[in-house]
Amino acid sequence: MNAIKKFAYNYLIPLVGKLNVGKNKFVNVVYYHDIVKGKGESFMRTNKELFEKQMRYIAENGYKTLRFDELDDKENVKFEKKKVVIAFDDGWLSNYTEIFEFMQSLGIKYNIYLTIGEIDKNPDYLTWDLVRRMHDSCLVGFGVHTFTHPHVADMSDIDPKLEFEQADAIFEKELGYQPLDFCYPFGSCSEKSHEYLTTQSRYKRIYTSSMMYSYEQNGRIIFGRNGIDNDETFGVFKAKLNGWFNIWKSII
């Protein structure tokens, strides 16, 4: 990024976003992936110390955090200052080993979208036992992230039975309830996939990876989300936390 772009991203977007904060109808969502002890990298890996600093900021500044199931409540799902949904994509093992106790000590709720085919199979991912342990703590909510983590934008490329129905059935068998929160892998989505999921699935909330204002379609909510980037400034993190970056998609 050149100096002008950097300035625009770090200062102008947060300012314009702040002035337009009223365009947010639904609760703000931020997301992470893996949390690592070593050097972080972009959206995919966040350094643990940086993550802890961000979470302490959330706790010390009185933000309310919510689990997915709490969004069934009409009041909870509305946009409100200092209210945020913290989410993690994929189901990385570190979402338990590196952060669970810490989040518990701060009383911060969080959520994980599971790539169902990796759970109990891939050693870098969570196991169902750990998922259940987190679920039983009432601190962590869960959603689905397909079975094989494909690009969903082109619906003709994927097997919806496997990616949605089978993934949901396994989730329900292991956790005892239907998943109502779905996140697109790679943020890969299209008008077609939104239409399919808002009419053919049981998901109430569908999450993209676009920094945009969330909206309703066929009675479901399509969420914009703010990826927290390991390499961005603390000011940008705060702006994303407050829903000020949701303006991004309206101006690019």
Closest CB 30 distance from Zn ion, rounded Å: 15
Using CA atoms of 13, 231, 221, 27 in order, give the dihedral in degrees to the nearest 10. -70
Q: Which residues pair with 30 in a beta bridge?
A: 86, 226
In the complex with Zn ion, which residue's Cβ is closer, 100 or 184?
184
3-state SS, 103-139, equals HHHHCCCEEEEECHHHCCCCCCECCHHHHHHHHHCCC
Q: Are 168 and 178 in contact (CB under 8 A)?
A: yes
Interacting residue with Zn ion among 26, 63, 86, 90 (CB under 5 A): 90
Task: Pick between residue 89 and residue 181 the one whose CB is nearest to Zn ion.
Answer: 89
**C-beta closer to Zn ion: residue 14 or 185:** 185
Among positions 34, 89, 118, 181, the unique one binding Zn ion when judged by CB under 5 A: 89
* Closest listed residue to residue 161, CA positions, set 148, 179, 174, 177: 148
- Within residues 171-230, the interface with Zn ion by CB under 5 A covers 185
Is the dihedral angle over the CA atoms 198, 204, 112, 130 positive or is it negative?
negative
**Quick check: 118 binds Zn ion (CB under 5 A)?**
no
Binding mask 13-52 for Zn ion (x = CB under 5 A): ----------------------------------------
Q: Give the interface with Zn ion as residue ranges (CB under 5 A).
A: 89-90, 185
